[in-house]
Amino acid sequence: MRPQFVLFGSSIVQYSFHQGWGATLAHLYARKADIVLRGYAGWNSRRALNVVDKVFPKNAPKQPELVIVYFGGNDSTPLHKSGNGPHVPLDEYKENMRKIAKHIKENTNWKNAYICDDGIHLTTKGNKIVSNAILKELKDADWKPSLYWKDMSAKFEEDSPYDPISLHVKTTNISHAPFPYAGSKL
């Protein structure tokens, strides 16, 4: 079974598959890991904390190898005079994020949580920054086995006579060749 990476957060996660950092990860990890989107536009850390045990049940038969948690933008919106809305005071936000990370880390099958708390919606440049930051963390992490995309084997990566033929009339295995991705040196 392939490793599973879960992206859990607000709109910055939900929309990350539209030419964003989630799409970049799914692209680079194609045939290596399943990138699972658990993005909920408009949510804050308070709402996430209320469902974290449903999104990440401890008794699930398949546990993710990596979880990326990304909340904060909605929490940081100004407090509405009605008292309603997504605003969460900073100290509560920090505590909510600690509790979410604790829930994820308590399960022995979950190795790490990479928690981002910058809450802006990303431009193309912003998505490259996030993609590169995540890929750098995965490259530099001392995890066994490595979760860095270049270190992972691809499904069905063996050479085949059905591989594309190069200019030198040799088959070329492209299992590890991502479609050109100019945004990263990782």
> Catalytic positions, please?
10, 117, 121
CA angle 108, 137, 24 (to 5 degrees): 105
**Residues 6+ away with beta carbon under 8 Å from 129:** 122
SS3 116: strand
41 touches 11 (CB < 8 A): yes
133 vs 5: CA distance, rounded Å: 16
Which strands, in side-by-side order, build the sheet including 4-9? 34-39, 4-9, 66-70, 113-116
113 vs 93: CA distance, rounded Å: 16
